[in-house]
Amino acid sequence: MPASSSGTEMAAPGTAKPKVARSPGTAFMIGLPYLWLALLILIPCLIVLRISLSQTVIAQPPYVPVFDFAGGFAAIKAFLGALSFENYGSLFADTLYISSYLKSLEIAALSTLALLVLGYPVAYAMSRAPGRWQAILVMLVILPFWTSFLIRVYAWITILQHDGLLNRVLMALGVIDAPYVWLATDTAVYIGIVYSYLPFMVLPLYASLQKLDDTLLEAAADLGCRRWQAFWKITVPLSLPGVLAGTLLCFIPITGEFVIPDLLGGSQTVMIGQTLWTEFFGNKDWPVASAIAIVLLCLLVVPIALFEKMRVREIEGR
């Protein structure tokens, strides 16, 4: 075939794409986010990892070894020799830490499932609403963020207390005959978490559902597909990126939640965030607290890696 008059050449299928030379300004703009992540995420995580391998002492800071840059190679050798994995061993030897991890994962999983069940219909209704109303509905969803998170949790203490609004409404409707104990229970924790994190589930779902092509549903209807069948075979599969994004946005912070279980939960609702706070500020055991944080980070990296792998597969499929 004759060459194109534009002078551009199409790469043959299966051949590697030619590398595009980047200018220094472009390379700087690309590398700047990585530098930001390294300074604010990677280095702090490495510091926490170093503390988790240290020993607890009654001093300031309450751990050894402290790396001394002025000591040279001898200081590095002494530092590496003093590192210990005993703190990680104590986490798996004490049932308190194991139960805290399991309770956190349990509450995070059930809360995320409840958020998905409640948030999907809300997001779907928002995406199907007339265009002039969608901006207003989105604003109503994010409206709770205009109020302090701590104030909203304290408001639930008033609502859930023995003579609070919830018991009075349920008794007026005849649902219960006597005030029910809500506070200091797992139920109160679930209520507080679902209320607080619902926007984090609704907004990614809405963004995914709002981009849905209506012609696909029309074509399915023309081919004899019922509405509920079109919903399960077209709408739900195409909204999976929003489902995964909302699930991660909720599951990850809920696992390390501290404020809600501490204010609304009881002694039986001890999540890993509360255990971490106790070890760090109560017991002044920084190495054990750092080990708890590192193990929690490893637990949360797994779903993030799976989500990233699925996202890459989706992009390659497109």
| Domain membership flag for residue 69 | no
| Domain membership flag for residue 299 | yes
Question: How far apart (Å, rounded) are the C-alpha atoms in residues 167 and 97?
Answer: 35
Residue-number span of the structural domain to which 195 is assigned: 87-317
When pLDDT is cut at 50, 70 and 90, the band that residue 202 belongs to is very high
Per the model's pLDDT, the better-predicted residue between 19 and 65 turns out to be 65
| Domain membership flag for residue 28 | no
pLDDT in tens, 166-198: 999 999 998 888 899 999 899 999 999 999 999
| Domain membership flag for residue 170 | yes
Per the model's pLDDT, the better-predicted residue between 308 and 119 turns out to be 119
| Domain membership flag for residue 82 | no
Beta bridge partners of 56: 63
pLDDT in tens, 100-136: 999 999 999 999 999 999 999 999 999 999 888 999 9
- Into how many domains does the chain fold? 1
Q: pLDDT at position 13, please? A: 52
Please say if the pLDDT value at position 5 is more than 80.
no
| Domain membership flag for residue 31 | no
| Domain membership flag for residue 112 | yes
**For residues 91 and 295, is the Cβ–Cβ distance under 8 A?**
yes
Sequence-distant (6+) residues with CB within 8 A of 170 are 176, 180
Per the model's pLDDT, the better-predicted residue between 153 and 72 turns out to be 153
Please say if the pLDDT value at position 68 is more than 70.
no
| Domain membership flag for residue 242 | yes
Interval 206-227 mean pLDDT? 84
Between the alpha carbon of residue 265 and those of residues 131, 153, 193, 250, 257, the distances in Å are: 41, 12, 11, 19, 12
Buried b (16+ CB within 10 A) or exposed e, 272-287: bbbbbebbbeeebbbb
Q: pLDDT at position 9, please? A: 47
Q: To which H or E segment does residue 169 belong? A: helix 165-172
Q: pLDDT at position 8, please? A: 45
When pLDDT is cut at 50, 70 and 90, the band that residue 37 belongs to is confident
Interval 56-68 mean pLDDT? 79
The CATH number given to whatever domain includes residue 181 is 1.10.3720.10
